[in-house]
Structure 1
Amino acid sequence: MQQLLMIEDDARLAQMVGEYLERSGFGITHALDGKAGLALLQEPPSGAVPDLLVLDLMLPDMDGLEVCRRVRSLPGNLSQIPILMLTAKGDPMDRIVGLELGADDYLPKPFEPRELLARIRAVLRRRTDGGQAAAKQLRFGSLEIDRDARTVLVAGKAADLTSYQFDLLITLAERAGRVLTRDQIMEAVRGRELEAFDRSIDVHMGRIRAAIEADAKNPKRILTVRGVGYVFAKQQD
């Protein structure tokens, strides 16, 4: 059974959502604030690191952005836990900042439990599926992408990418030389069309460039095609 950690100060909402997710086959651990949630993450009752963190943005002791920042700075595998952030509807800046800090996905409140479940499954599927039947490794000059290990090396050094960013990179690299619209990229990765005016993908692309490009402001690998989307360049280093 996959385990979820939910950090949510609305006890009634957490109970309702938790019961729904438990009926869907997940184990749930709940914390009412950021401090308690970080403690449960580092010392989980089951002894195993949770498979995913559902993190509310508004918490009584520290906001979800600070929790996200602290999680990503934890040692070892703890820093790599997928994070699905719950944000206030109509507040795109919080979503952008959350994604920049390393959240893998977001869901505006109020939401339907079914959509939360679908998002959770999508994030976990991206983490476990890897490349499926495709080639285990992709190499482009000094850039190496290992599907099974879900690692990216640039000139032999590990690039720091979230699970979602890794899948965005794989999506582009698999189709090197082909221009993809934002809708096509999001459909391939998330399994649903891009929401109107949602620019979160641009935030992630910026983070990927910072991790794999020698000069993120003048990228050579992931190129923007103005008015269309992105293309992964085939040229070697």
Structure 2
Amino acid sequence: MIKVLTIEDSEETRDILKIILSEEKSIKFLEAASIKEGMEILKKETPEIILLDLSLPDGNGSYICEQIKSNSKYFGSPFILALTAETSQETVNTTLEMGCDDYIKKPFDSKELLIRLKKFIVRVPQNKDILTYENMKLFSSDKTMLYENEPIELSKNEFELLSYFIVNRGLLLTRESILNHVWKENFDISDKAVDQCLKRLRKKLPILNEVLISKRGFGYILK
């Protein structure tokens, strides 16, 4: 599922975009009406593509571009498509210089928008380095984690266990499947290893006490 975040103050424009993008089943539509709302969603969701209005109630869209380009650890590397009513050569150059990957003129043609979006969709990495859930971000390249943009130290098994739950969100995971995935060929490990690892994770991430449900006799499920 490709996350597309629209940061646009016009509710009518957001509704139109939502209808257009609903045609693409591979897209999850996210929306914000201001820079503040957009930054909050960016921190939580890490979208792959951003549709960005350059003129927002609480500032210029260039601020978001600057934040993303200078803080990829927090925001990933989304493609940015500017939504602009001005398409003079000077405006286009400025738009590209600030970090946007492309632009489209408002009002826009739905087919043109989808064509431009699909050019970015096919370039989204299939094996993503960043795994997100709620306010958590896990980075597979160096096995590090951020929670609400603060680093949380996890052991290798804690990292693998949390990743396994997030990847399989909504599915009931048995202790056997957890042991096979996290501890792999270490057959000397007992079920208690899962309990102890989860206990440490719940202590480091209290939110898990609300969203990670234990099904006695069966296993666990992350809501």
Q: What's the TM-score, normalizing by structure 1?
A: 0.49
Measure the CA separation in 1 of the matches of 2:102 and 2:87.
16
Asked if 1:72 is matched to 2:69, the reply is yes
2:48·2:124 contact (CA, 8 Å) conserved in 1? no
Displacement of 1:80 in angstroms is: 1.4
1:115 shift after superposition? 1.0
Give the greater-gyration-radius structure (CA).
Answer: 2
Quote the offset at 1:128 in angstroms.
4.2
Matched residue, 1:116: 113
Residue identity over aligned pairs, in percent, reads 31
- Aligned partner of 1:20 in structure 2 is 20
* Segment of structure 1 superposing worse, 104-113 or 76-85: 76-85
Matched AA of 1:39: E
- 1-structure distance, mates of 2:70, 2:87: 28
Distance 1:90 1:51 in 2: 25
CA-to-aligned-CA distance 1:50-99 (integer Å, 9 cap, x gap): 11111011111111122211221224262511111112233332321221
Q: Which runs of 5+ in 2 are unaligned?
A: 127-223
Kept in 2: contact 1:57–1:65 (CA 8 A): yes
Structure 1, unpaired ranges of 5+? 130-237
1:88 paired residue number: 85
1:43 corresponds to which residue? 44
Partner of 1:7 in structure 2?
Answer: 7
Q: Deviations over 1:23-45 (max 9, x none)?
A: 2221111000111101100112x
d(CA) in 2 for partners of 1:66, 1:91 = 21
| Cα contact 1:89–1:110 (8 A) shared by 2 | no
Q: CA–CA distance in 2 between the matches of 1:124 and 1:32?
A: 23
Measure the CA separation in 2 of the matches of 1:82 and 1:128: 12
* Corresponding residue of 1:33: 34
Q: How does 1:1-237 map to 2 (within 5 A)?
A: 1-25=1-25, 26-44=27-45, 49-76=46-73, 78-128=75-125
Question: How well do the aligned residues superpose, as a CA RMSD in angstroms?
Answer: 2.0
Size of the aligned set, in residue pairs, is: 126
